[in-house]
Amino acid sequence: MDFLLRFNKARPFQEDMIKDIYNALKEKKSILINAPTGIGKTDAALASSLRFALENNLRVLFLTPKKSQHNIVVEALNGINEKYNLDIKFVDLISKKELCTNPEANSLESDIFYKACEELIKHKKCIYFNNIKDIDLDKFSKYTSLGHNNFFDVAFKNGLCAYELATNLAKKADVIIADYGHIINTYIMGLFSKRVALDVGSTIAIWDEAHNINEIANEYMKRTLSTNMIKKAKSELLEIKNNIDLSYLEFMLNELSEKKLENKKEALVYNNDIPDTLKENLDEIIEELERAATEYIINKKAKRSYLFHIAKFLSNVLIEDESIIKVITKDRESIKLSIISLYPKDVIDKIKEFYSNVFMSGTLLPLEMYRDLFGIKDAIIKSYSSPFPKENRIVFIDDSATTKFEKRSIEQYKKIAERIDLIKERINGNVAVFFPSFDVEENVFRYIKHSPIIRQKRDMNSKEVEKIISDLYKENNALFLGVMGGLLSEGIDYKNNIIKGLIIVGIPLSTPNIEIEAKINYYEKLFGAGYDYAYIIPAIVKTIQAAGRAIRKEDDKAFIILLDERYEWKKYKQLISQFLDVKDKIAFSSFLNNETSNLTKQT
């Protein structure tokens, strides 16, 4: 059997990647792959994994951090079936809520949705679920190749639960496309595995954008209780005339604040700080809150319940583990107690149960660090060069300014704005500028003279983000301002070389706080590299992700300018050099003086 590549010819380095993955699977080992944009990671991973899976009676689970990334997998699998005249069965799954065709349930907040769904099914009140019982599954199997959106439409038109239909079909699928949450959320993983008859020991897991795994897993585990949340939960109880008293939770937060904070903004909280009365009656309290939350949702037709959020928090409040911390904070509006995961140990243990894992990303360097973070010591590590011509990507460091916190000032913001204006003058076409935070973006924006400006703002919804992208494609000489680590700087392709230049302003280091300090200390104990693993390298990964937005295919051309004096520091420059070929200062000077004419004219 050939490697199942849908194209007639492999791209540069793609054939190496295909063979490396196949050989790792033969050894029943996991493999970590750093593969820059352009290699064709998705096709390479499927070409090798599918061949090995079909030869050895295994299944393939393809996981992505965003559902928008499912389309390319669907296209690849359809292409493989067509080229080789195969009938590889695959199902594209997103969350149960997003595949819910019942309008009464799918508009509910996520946490509440699952409880409401259980109640509707239990009492046989969901007609979409009820209609599944007598259907012929084979009649709908042909629709799985359409992807989750079109499959949803088919199920809805037939009055069927799209999730129930899709998961039933997935039981016999060779490949399942799913979100990280199906595995990284350990509670969901148990339910999901049963629903699709997934034997992890006989499954090859492919993790796209794998640099996100630990961060997303930690985010799933985060829980918060605040005085504002308690007040809103009290209002819900009043509406259903329930006499549960939540005053003891407010009292607890106030006591913790007085005891722990004094003149500090935040402090660690330990289990012995939690009142004994709460510990002794915890299970009973959680059960009461969940019952009240369900009653509130059903009787008031509400979309969310703060009672349920409190119950989830209390379910985790007494977890005692070195990888979990509790932090109390206070601002003008509220006192907040947060449960924070520093390292997702349970998730990592689950990942190890797969037959093999293929971890891949364009920013999976240093590979040794990610091998540590994924806890698979014998994993194979591979890195490939970019297939794009080096001369199409000109990278400079501009050390004339900085966003270093202690140096931030009006003068620095003005200096950064002046450099942005000057660089924009040297580049024909749209230029994207990514900042380390909205605070810096807002402060620099007011001093930029160039027009037009398309700007990402705080708390934008998906429609507003889509409009920004749409507006960018209508322009040919705009400045686009965004932030690193956000929706517009990672996991998005700016097609047709719409961005001719990229300016990365500052280094997106996390704001030093108790969580960062605790993570550094924990990683130091675990891996002997706390500062690098928990603080420095995650920031550089965000930088590289943002820098990768401009060059998406072989004939794209762009300038990339890293604007901060710290990029010239040995530590940062060494890390950056693993991803980007940085030109010297003489070349940058020539660029500013408009002497690098060849690429400038082309762009």
Give pLDDT tens digits for 104-152. 888 888 777 887 888 889 999 999 999 998 889 889 999 999 999 999 9
Tens of pLDDT, residue by residue over 10-20, are 988 999 999 99
602, 549, 537, 603: which is closest to 576 by C-alpha?
A: 537
Instruction: Compute CA distances 182 → 161, 194, 334, 370, whole Å.
Output: 18, 12, 33, 21
CA torsion, points 489, 494, 500, 505, in degrees to nearest 10? 0
Q: What's the rounded Cα separation, in Å, for the pair 57 and 88?
A: 13
Q: Strand 203-207 to strand 59-64: parallel, antiparallel, or no bridges (unpaired)?
A: parallel
Q: Strand 175-179 to strand 453-455: parallel, antiparallel, or no bridges (unpaired)?
A: unpaired
Mean pLDDT of 239-250: 95
What is the per-residue pLDDT for 551? 84
DSSP state letter for 360: E
Q: Has this prediction a pTM greater than 0.85?
A: yes
pLDDT band at 302 (very low <50, low <70, confident <90, very high): confident
Spatial contact of 292 and 240, defined as CB atoms under 8 Å apart = yes
Mean pLDDT of 421-439: 96
Asked whether the predicted pLDDT for residue 584 surpasses 50, the reply is yes
Phi (first) and psi of residue 432, to 5 degrees = -95, 135
Spatial contact of 255 and 312, defined as CB atoms under 8 Å apart = no
Asked whether the predicted pLDDT for residue 492 surpasses 90, the reply is no
What is the per-residue pLDDT for 595? 65
What is the per-residue pLDDT for 116? 82
Asked whether the predicted pLDDT for residue 355 surpasses 70, the reply is yes
Residue whose entry in the numeric block shows the structure tokens 């749209």: 430
Question: For the ranges 45-49, 442-446, 517-521, 593-597, which has the lowest average pLDDT?
Answer: 593-597
What is the per-residue pLDDT for 1? 62
What is the per-residue pLDDT for 600? 47
Tens of pLDDT, residue by residue over 546-572, are 998 888 888 899 999 999 999 999 999
3-state secondary structure 44-79: HHHHHHHHHHHHCCCEEEEEECCHHHHHHHHHHHHH
Alpha helix positions (H), 434-513: 438-445, 462-474
Asked whether the predicted pLDDT for residue 450 surpasses 50, the reply is yes
What is the per-residue pLDDT for 113? 86
**What structural domains and CATH numbers belong to the chain?**
14-104+124-214+345-383 (3.40.50.300), 223-341 (1.10.275.40), 390-602 (3.40.50.300)
Mean pLDDT of the chain: 93
First to last CA, the chain: 44
